Amino acid sequence: MWLFRFLVAQLFLAFIAMALPSEVDRSSSVTTVSLVKKFGYAIEEHEVQTSDGYLLTMHRIPYSKHTGYDGKRPVVFLMHGLLCSSSDWVLSGPDNGLAFIFSDAGYDVWMGNARGNTYSRKHASKSPTFQPFWNFEWHDIGIYDLPAMMDYILYLTGEPNLQYVGHSQGTTSFFVLNSMIKRFKSRIRSAHLLAPVAWMGHMESPLAKVAGPLFGQPNALIELFGSAEFLPSSKAMELMGSVFCRDQAFSQVMCTNILFLMGGWDSPYLNTTLIPEVMATTPAGCSVNQMFHYLQEYNSGDFRQFDYGATRNKKEYGNKNPPNYDVEGMDVPVYLYYSDNDYFASLIDVDLLRRTMNPASLKRAYRMPEKKWNHLDFLWGLNIKEILYDTVLEDIINA
């Protein structure tokens, strides 16, 4: 059944690609700034440069529209997943958007954007038009992007630490950061990880089952040819969302199948009214290497650094195999939130993560009671505030 849906979704995407304009347009009317302003909240844009030259845009909601500026606030930092952006946290509006919920609860809310996505397509010396810009993967987001953004936030606000909330790749890059750069132990008060992705050997995604055997092998070709951009955001995608995915559109079922393909089939929590905005902002673009690294995790069953093949691995790591990430050595308070119907963070893999983590560090592992809750429902599920975000907020307050 999943194969049939997979093929139908792929044919639909191919039809859209042929029917709509192909040029990339970054001036989309659906942006994090436009969405936040639409709902009456203050919004700021901040740019920070990483130590390897990427210029990243962060979005900040400094205070709630219900209070106005009310003095210094504790900081919460939200980090998006693969092919996503800061828009994830505001698409659902004030009632269910996590950024708004935190703002109304008294937090200074910062939303990150990883290199290469819609809002972070600049570099001190490289152009995204050319291949060298795209020579990165999510390991680099963990060791360069997260430190640069969090150091900037803490310096600007004067706060000693922050609360971290990540979804999907935002959890993977968190594990990378805390495995590789131990100084952040004192800078993260607690971490709240939605749909945590580390080990992926039991991932159920049809995309992984199809692409994993082909693209999840040790990739020595990257050294020769480099990486490239994968699924950039475009005006065509925004048009697709507004025309083909709106309520009452006969083709909306195809849009839902695309989302189910990404996150898990047949979730009853999918907010179909929100699909046009989701499709207008997602995918937000990434590097092909990010995809390859995840497929390597699926193939190997290990949570480890990028596998270039034995020859370059020896040069890069001093061993023919890439090193594992030191999840056991992390010493930051961590809260996990996971579900049964998640194609990317399977129950078996999350259980391995739980057993590997330092028991003193793992403060909570919350398995969603909603059996059909999927990977994307952590962002846009119906009634998500009552179902999940109230719990996350309570955990942060008590951390």
Q: Specify the CATH number for the domain of residue 277.
A: 3.40.50.1820
265 domain residue, yes or no: yes
197 domain residue, yes or no: yes
Query: Which one of 139, 167, 293, 375 is the catalytic residue?
Result: 375
CA-based torsion, 294, 296, 299, 302: positive or negative:
negative
310 domain residue, yes or no: yes
18 domain residue, yes or no: no
pLDDT tens digits for 357-368? 999 999 999 999
Where in the sequence is the domain holding 106, given as residue range(s)?
A: 2-13+30-398
Domain count, the chain: 1
Residue from 275, 229, 232 nearest 28 by CA: 232
> What pairs with residue 338 in β-bridges?
367
Query: Which one of 103, 168, 267, 287 is the catalytic residue?
Result: 168
The answer to whether 256 touches 270, Cβ cutoff 8 Å, is yes
What is the structure's pLDDT at 279?
78
- In this structure, which amino acid lies at residue 181? I
pLDDT tens digits for 231-271? 665 454 454 444 445 545 444 444 544 544 555 556 789 88
Pairing of strands 54-61, 122-123: antiparallel
24 domain residue, yes or no: no
Q: Which residues contact 153 (CB under 8 A, 6 or more apart)?
A: 58, 75, 77, 110, 159, 162
217 domain residue, yes or no: yes
22 domain residue, yes or no: no
203 domain residue, yes or no: yes
What is the structure's pLDDT at 17?
39
Q: Is 375 a catalytic residue?
A: yes
Q: Is the peptide bond before 232 cis (omega within 30 degrees of 0)?
A: no
* Lookup: tokens for 242: 């507004």
pLDDT tens digits for 290-331? 989 999 999 999 999 999 999 889 999 999 999 999 999 999
Q: Tell which phi-psi region holds residue 238, choosing left (phi > 0), alpha (psi between -120 and 50) or beta.
A: alpha
